[in-house]
Structure 1
Amino acid sequence: MIFDTEPNNWKELQNFVGQIFRECGFPTEISKVVQLVRGKKEIDVFTQDIKSEYKPHILVECKFWNKPVNQETIHSFRTIVNDFGANTGFIVSKNGFQSGSYDAVKNTNIRLVSLKELETEYYNKWKQGMVERYMTYADRLFPYWDYSGKIPKDGGTIDFYTQQLIYSAYKPVCGLGPSDKAENGFQRNYPIRVPMIDDNLRQIGSEIINSDRQFFDFVERNKDKALKHFKILYREW
């Protein structure tokens, strides 16, 4: 799934939800005040699915309650969604919904979900968004590890073993490719073990990646370090 941890309070739940949409590549705002037919209302998460054909606006209400969400809350949110003219509204609840709640949203544009259900709903778009975010970094590394005949600026040679060590250390970044951007295109088998290297290009340990979240967190932490170490090898640093 998208997250390896659970939110501990309402604010974290709100931020988790916002992070999902933001990492999908959607413009997203937290605690946005919107204009309704009768006044204004603060929305927990406001986003727009710009990847879909009709680019729907989405409003999200986050409920970190110790009890199920009641029907009155659902009816109130449905009015807000309709008054704003949003295409879809989600209520994300920590502890589910009261009996009859799902009947209350039949034939409406309101969805009642847990955080995990929301993650499942947007999992593929999230993966696509994360791949798109980091493809630029993968592209700039390609000439350094591809067998295309790149040589150092001084015209000398490089050590093949060290090149392969750097590639192995940053394979999560180097290995991102166009096919990963397709729906269901990004698939990795975990655990993935990668060597850790220092600025002398020597292995100093290893790291294990166990999930998609850890994979992209690794890419974020190492996207610039990977280029630095290839540049050191090619004597460009």
Structure 2
Amino acid sequence: MIFDDEPQTWSQLQNYVGKMFTECGFETEVSKVVELVRGQKEIDVITQDLRSEYKPTILIECKFWKEKVNQEIVHSFRTVVNDFGANLGFIVSKNGFQSGCYEAAKNTNIRLVSLKELEAEYYKKWLQGMVEKYMPYADKLFPYWDYTGTKMPNDGGKIDFEKQQLIFSAYKPICAIGPSDIMLPPLGFIREYPIIVPIIDDRLIQIGEKSIETDRQYFDFVEDNKERALKHFKILYRE
């Protein structure tokens, strides 16, 4: 899944939803006040997929209630979605929905979901967005570990092959990012966890190891190490 933990407050739930759509590559705003037919209304999350053919606009209402959401909320939100002219609306509830909600949402453009259900629906787009975000960093590293060996140090000398393999192992989560990440099976690459990587210092010596257990940890690792990986390859190649 996209998130490793559950939000603990309403604001966290709202921010998780906003973060997910932002990482999908959608144009997203959190807590946006919009003009409707009957006046102003604050929308928890408003997002638009500008990369798709029809550029759908989606409104999301977040409910961090102890009790289940009632059908009055569904009727009210359906009016907001229609007045705004959105293509789709989600109500994300921490503790589910009363039975009448599903009848109220039937044959409408309103979807009733938990956060995990929303994550599952947008997981593929999220993965695509994350891969596209970090692909340029993987491309920068490619010449340094490419097996064809076309990359040479500036001074014309040799490099330590064992050090090269150590750096590659340490930053393989970045090096491995590629188009196959967003393809469907059987062509697509399915990441298996845990992924164990060595931790190295600026002397290019291993000082420990790290276990990556989830997709969120994977891309957090990439974010935290994208510049450090290039730095260490440049040290090896004496650049």
Q: What is the TM-score normalised by the length of structure 1?
A: 0.97
Match of 2:151 in 1: 150
The ranges of structure 1 where at least 4 consecutive aligned residues each deviate by more than 6 angstroms after the TM superposition are none
- Residue 77 of structure 1 aligns with an amino acid whose one-letter code is F
* Whole-Å separation in 1 of the counterparts to 2:103 and 2:87: 19
Q: Deviations over 1:111-151 (max 9, x none)?
A: 00000000011011111111001000000000000023211
Match of 2:141 in 1: 141
- Residue 164 of structure 1 aligns with an amino acid whose one-letter code is Q
- 1:1-237 matches, cutoff 5 A: 1-146=1-146, 147-183=148-184, 185-236=188-239
The question of whether the paired residues in 1 share the 8 Å contact of 2:59 and 2:81 is answered with yes
The question of whether the paired residues in 2 share the 8 Å contact of 1:132 and 1:181 is answered with no
Residues 1:85 and 1:139: Cα distance change in structure 2 (over 3 Å): same
**Secondary structure of the corresponding residue to residue 100 of structure 1:** helix
The question of whether the paired residues in 2 share the 8 Å contact of 1:28 and 1:46 is answered with yes
Superposition deviation, residue 58 in structure 1:
0.2
- Residue 210 of structure 2 aligns with an amino acid whose one-letter code is E
Gaps of 5+ in 2: none
Superposition deviation, residue 102 in structure 1:
0.4
Superposition deviation, residue 34 in structure 1:
1.1
* Whole-Å separation in 1 of the counterparts to 2:190 and 2:102: 34
* Whole-Å separation in 2 of the counterparts to 1:62 and 1:165: 45
Q: Deviations over 1:163-203 (max 9, x none)?
A: 00000000000011122233463520111100000000000
**Secondary structure of the corresponding residue to residue 46 of structure 2:** strand
Greater CA drift, 36-45 or 179-188: 179-188
- Residue 175 of structure 1 aligns with an amino acid whose one-letter code is A
* Whole-Å separation in 2 of the counterparts to 1:20 and 1:116: 11
* Whole-Å separation in 2 of the counterparts to 1:88 and 1:152: 54
- Residue 138 of structure 1 aligns with an amino acid whose one-letter code is A
Superposition deviation, residue 33 in structure 1:
1.0
* Whole-Å separation in 2 of the counterparts to 1:80 and 1:98: 20
Superposition deviation, residue 85 in structure 1:
0.2
Greater CA drift, 174-183 or 185-194: 174-183
- Residue 163 of structure 1 aligns with an amino acid whose one-letter code is Q
**Secondary structure of the corresponding residue to residue 68 of structure 1:** coil
* Whole-Å separation in 2 of the counterparts to 1:130 and 1:22: 10
Residues 1:192 and 1:25: Cα distance change in structure 2 (over 3 Å): same
The question of whether the paired residues in 2 share the 8 Å contact of 1:191 and 1:210 is answered with yes
Q: Over the residues paired in the alignment, what is the CA RMSD in angstroms? A: 1.0
Identity of aligned residues (%): 72
The question of whether the paired residues in 1 share the 8 Å contact of 2:46 and 2:59 is answered with yes
The question of whether the paired residues in 2 share the 8 Å contact of 1:74 and 1:101 is answered with yes
